[in-house]
Structure 1
Amino acid sequence: MDIRFIAGFGPITRSGAEGLAFWSTAFGLRFDEMAPDYHHAHGLAGANVFGLWPLAQAARATFGTDDWPEDRPVPQAWLEFEMASPEAVAAGEAELAEGGHEILVRAHVEPWGQWTARLQSPEGLLVGLSYLPDFHPELTR
């Protein structure tokens, strides 16, 4: 796989207000609200995104419903690996599937232009392979 960096990481929150209060108060992180109840830490180095993703939104993005399936571990966090290209997302998905991993969301482009494929780790972590053109300004000039 041609992984370039960790594209994002953050806890899956059951309560957006409670999660925001914890991370901003306990650790002094500043957040920007990117969508209703979806917050990115402002200026935090190390990952391109540290985002608080509500469980209902993660369920909708993965399963098409606001309810997380009862037969799956409820994720406590999400992790996305940024890939070199949309083709690398598809190739990574194929490699994972060939390795016997269940792909929850096949490679596709989201309405905001990000290519994504998702699976769940044995610990329940929601893991994505992604390609967001905004993370590759050298390719969009």
Structure 2
Amino acid sequence: MEVAFVAGFGPITRDGAAARAFWEGGLGIPLEEPAPGYLTNDSLDGVKAFALWPLAQAAESTFGSSAWPADVPVPQAWLELDVPSVEAVAAGVAELAAAGHRVLRGATEEPWGQTTSRLLSPEGLLVGLTYTPWMHAAPPAVD
């Protein structure tokens, strides 16, 4: 498996107003709200995206329901590791599952065009193995 870059990182929030007050008001990270409750900064150096992701939205993306399952530890943050292709997401998930890691959701194309899978790290991070097409440099034009 080859990880190309960290596609995104941010805390999983339970109180959006308090989180925004800390990250934007306290630390000065400007945040936009492209979807209700989803606060993001896609220009912060160091990662391709930094976002405050509400737990209900993380649960919906992972399990198809806004409720986080009681038998799965609630994550404190999320981390997406981008791989070079859509095919690499499925291959990486298979590799991780074969190594005994618990896959919460296999490779799936999201409505916005990103291919994602989800796992829970031993530290409690919601980890996505992803391919985000718009975050990869366009191939050079061929003459």
- Would you say same fold, with TM above 0.5? yes
Q: Match of 1:92?
A: 92
Please give the residue correspondences for 1:1-141 in structure 2 after superposition, counting only pairs within 5 Å: 1-41=1-41, 43-139=43-139
- Map Cα deviations across residues 101-139 of structure 1 (whole Å, 9 max, x no partner): 111110010000000011101121100011111012414
Question: Deviating runs (4+, > 2 A) in structure 1?
Answer: none
* Alignment gaps of 5+ in structure 2: none
- Please tell me the root mean square deviation across aligned C-alpha atoms, in Å: 1.4
Measured after TM superposition, the shift of residue 21 of structure 1 is: 1.2
CA contact (8 A) 1:106 1:116 kept: yes
Give the letter for the 2:117 counterpart. Answer: A
1:83–1:129 contact (8 Å) kept in structure 2: yes
SS at match of 2:5: strand
- Structure 1, unpaired ranges of 5+: none
- TM-score normalised by structure 1 residue count: 0.95
Residue type at the aligned position of 2:26: A
Share of identical aligned residues, percent?
Answer: 57
Q: TM-score, normalised by structure 2?
A: 0.93
Tell me whether 15-24 or 104-113 shows the greater mean CA deviation. 15-24
What amino acid is aligned across from residue 20 of structure 1 in structure 2?
R
Q: How many pairs does the alignment contain?
A: 141
**Alpha-carbon contact 2:78-2:126 (below 8 Å) kept:** yes
Deviations 1:77-119 (A, max 9, x none): 0000011000111110010011011111100100000000111
